[in-house]
């Protein structure tokens, strides 16, 4: 009782001392399994709550809001149970373009802003988190989709996705920009042209290069970045390309491009999928002769026993534009299965089997005769853990997350033919000596918590119900928290709500 009183007193003092800098609070003993919602704030409608960043110096939460304009909403988080919107930063007044991501470090707020014409080079705008003044605007590659700081604060990195225009007549080069904060914001932008000579070998390992009339460098589309704790190495997901690239931040060069291969949904109970939205069964998990590209969206770094790992949320994504659309369904008339490889093709094409399953026309015709010898689908419907040095697969949670959402009545069976629960966001936290992964499930409106202290055998902890379509997950450790307790922030783009969760203290 006495320790609880002391903790409460410290928390109250912190609330009163808004903006006092590093709080230097010792970590508290928390019950990981007791995470629950303690507060929320509604910032608008669709697109009003996408990605968030927290500044421990000011106890402010900065939230990307693209509902009716483009702005950063600033939320007072001194009381996590009662967050208050303070004001907004209008990006339109700073040159326009949609804002895609934000990050905070050492009193700096970095915002990734795409150009009004998304195929043009974008910008990173750096603000002072206290007075919101603009410190610098830096040109980066086309369509900066994600921004992050290195843990030491010396680098700002952007994943410049460089999507084509809708007609697929303009396709900029995908890239990663590295901004040296302590070198007057000097920027180095890397593209992937150095790997073009290895294209054939990389494709044989599972790299996808298939954009219409695109060069190798144009076809690469970086999505998300994770940085090692020592700020020397970064990993970049290339979602549509089904790969992860590695960067040496000391030399600011790529040191590897690693195709991720595929998951065989026809072998092993753990690899089963629910492939139909027309079978009148919720969670009808079966093995099917289908291979899934991992196609990760978010990625996070962690270490266990000195070994570095990255964890990926294997959402999957297709290129679907007016000028080029790779999507097909297995049952479509223009998607013919090879009769030798699939003697039961007519049965497979039934809507109650895999006839409704979305697949790709860009891969699978291995002999070039116009029919498909392998059925490929988008995303692995899971999260995976990879050795960060070799990018070899350590573990994959398989169908477990989807089964958990079925049991919790959170599974959207109408998404069975697409990409299932669509794991999109992921972050990792160290809580009470355990390494915990928080995985945002866009189509289940939930966050799945797993103990990954043993990376080879993730253990389910619990599901947290969220708002509509969680887009970002952000963990605030007790040392940075306004009340000295762990906080999980979930931003939901479907309904514009920010959900705030905290665990109970251990008795």
Q: How far is 57 from 37, CA to CA, in rounded Å? A: 24
Those residues whose C-beta lies under 8 Å from the C-beta of residue 251, and which sit 6 or more positions away, are none
Closest CA to 257 of 288, 219, 306, 307: 219
Tell me the C-alpha distance between 99 and 493, whole Å: 13
Taking only the tens place, the pLDDT of each residue in 183-215 is 999 999 999 999 999 999 999 999 999 999 999
**Distance of alpha carbon 498 from the chain centroid:** 17
Indicate the pTM of the whole model.
Answer: 0.94
Bridge-based pairing of strands 291-293 and 262-264 is antiparallel
What is the four-CA torsion angle of 25, 28, 30, 36, rounded to 10 degrees?
A: -20
Angle at 385 between CA 384 and CA 386, to 5 degrees: 120
Cα distances (angstroms) measured from residue 40 to each of 56, 75, 497: 19, 11, 7
Strand-pair category, 434-441 with 262-264: unpaired
Domain range summary for the chain, segments of one domain joined by +: 47-260
- CA–CA separation, 127 and 139 (whole Å): 15
pLDDT of residue 271: 98
Confidence (pLDDT) at 252:
98
Position 14 scores a pLDDT of 37
Q: pLDDT tens digits for the chain (507 residues)?
A: 333 333 333 333 333 333 344 454 456 899 999 999 999 999 999 999 999 999 999 999 999 999 999 999 999 999 999 999 999 999 999 999 999 999 999 999 999 999 999 999 999 999 999 999 999 999 999 999 999 999 999 999 999 999 999 999 999 999 999 999 999 999 999 999 999 999 999 999 999 999 999 999 999 999 999 999 999 999 999 999 999 999 999 999 999 999 999 999 999 999 999 999 999 999 999 999 999 999 999 999 999 999 999 999 999 999 999 999 999 999 999 999 999 999 999 999 999 999 999 999 999 999 999 999 999 999 999 999 999 999 999 999 999 999 999 999 999 999 999 999 999 999 999 999 999 999 999 999 999 999 999 999 999 999 999 999 999 999 999 999 999 999 999 999 999 999 999 999 998
In the three-class reduction of DSSP (H, G, I as helix; E, B as strand; rest coil), residue 432 is classed as coil
Q: How many CB atoms lie within 10 A of CB 9?
A: 10
3-class DSSP string for 115-127: CCCCCCEEEEEEE
Distance CA 139, CA 118 (A): 13
Which residues partner with 159 through β-bridges? 146, 176
Q: Tell me what pLDDT residue 121 has.
A: 98
The CA angle 142-145-146, to the nearest 5 degrees, is 130
Q: Domain 47-260 belongs to what architecture?
A: 7 Propeller (2.130)
- Cα separation, 256 vs 201, whole angstroms: 13
DSSP state of 280: S
Instruction: Give the span between the Cα atoms of 200 and 221, in whole angstroms.
Output: 18
Rounded Cα distance, 345 and 348, in Å:
5
| 8 Å CB contact between 392 and 386 | yes
CA–CA separation, 257 and 269 (whole Å): 30
Segment 286-338, tens digit of pLDDT? 999 999 999 999 999 999 999 999 999 999 999 999 999 999 999 999 999 99
**CB contact at 8 A, 401 and 407:** no
CB 405 within 8 A of CB 278: no
Angle, alpha carbons 433-438-439 (nearest 5°): 150
């Amino acid at each position: 009782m006495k320790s609880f009183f002391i903790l409460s007193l410290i928390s109250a003092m912190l609330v009163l001392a808004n903006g006092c800098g590093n709080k230097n609070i010792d970590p508290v003993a928390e019950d990981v399994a007791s995470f629950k919602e303690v507060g929320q704030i509604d910032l608008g409608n669709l697109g009003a709550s996408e990605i968030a960043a927290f500044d421990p110096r000011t106890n402010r939460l900065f939230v990307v809001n693209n509902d009716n304009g483009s702005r950063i909403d600033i939320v007072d988080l001194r009381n996590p149970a009662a967050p208050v919107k303070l004001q907004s930063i209008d990006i339109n007044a700073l040159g326009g373009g949609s804002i895609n991501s934000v990050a905070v470090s050492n009193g700096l707020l970095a915002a990734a802003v795409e150009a009004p014409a998304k195929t043009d080079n974008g910008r990173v705008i750096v603000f002072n988190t206290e007075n919101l003044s603009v410190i610098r605007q830096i040109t980066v590659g086309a369509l900066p989709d994600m921004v992050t700081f290195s843990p030491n604060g010396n680098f700002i990195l952007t994943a410049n996705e460089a999507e084509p225009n809708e007609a697929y007549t303009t396709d900029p080069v995908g890239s990663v920009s590295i901004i040296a904060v302590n070198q007057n914001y000097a920027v180095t932008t890397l593209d992937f042209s150095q790997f073009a000579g290895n294209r054939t070998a990389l494709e044989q390992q599972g790299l996808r290069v298939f954009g219409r009339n695109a060069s190798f460098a144009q076809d690469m589309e970086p999505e998300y970045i994770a940085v090692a704790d020592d700020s020397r190495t970064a990993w970049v997901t290339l979602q549509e390309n089904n790969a992860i690239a590695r960067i040496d931040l000391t030399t600011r060069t790529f040191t590897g491009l690693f195709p991720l291969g595929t998951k065989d949904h026809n072998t092993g109970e753990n690899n089963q999928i629910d492939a139909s939205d027309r079978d009148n069964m919720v969670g009808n998990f079966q093995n099917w002769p289908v291979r899934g590209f991992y196609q990760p969206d978010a990625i996070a770094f962690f270490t266990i026993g000195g070994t570095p790992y990255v964890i990926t949320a294997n959402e999957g994504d297709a290129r679907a534009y007016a000028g080029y659309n790779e999507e097909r369904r297995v049952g479509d008339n223009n998607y013919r299965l090879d009769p030798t490889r699939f003697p039961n093709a007519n049965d497979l094409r039934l809507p109650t089997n895999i006839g409704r399953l979305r697949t790709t026309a860009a891969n699978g015709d291995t002999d070039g005769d116009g029919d498909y010898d392998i059925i490929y689908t988008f995303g692995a419907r899971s999260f995976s853990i990879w050795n960060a040095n070799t990018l070899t697969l350590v573990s994959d949670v398989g169908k477990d997350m989807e089964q958990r959402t079925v049991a919790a009545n959170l599974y959207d069976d109408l998404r069975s033919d697409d990409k299932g629960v669509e794991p999109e966001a992921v972050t990792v936290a160290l809580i009470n000596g355990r390494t915990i992964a928080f995985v945002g499930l866009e189509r289940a409106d939930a966050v799945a918590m797993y103990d990954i202290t043993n990376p080879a055998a993730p253990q389910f902890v619990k599901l947290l119900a969220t708002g509509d379509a969680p887009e970002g997950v952000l963990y605030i450790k007790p040392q940075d928290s306004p009340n000295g307790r762990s906080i999980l922030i979930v931003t939901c783009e479907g309904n514009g709500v920010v959900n705030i969760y905290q665990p109970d203290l251990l008795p």
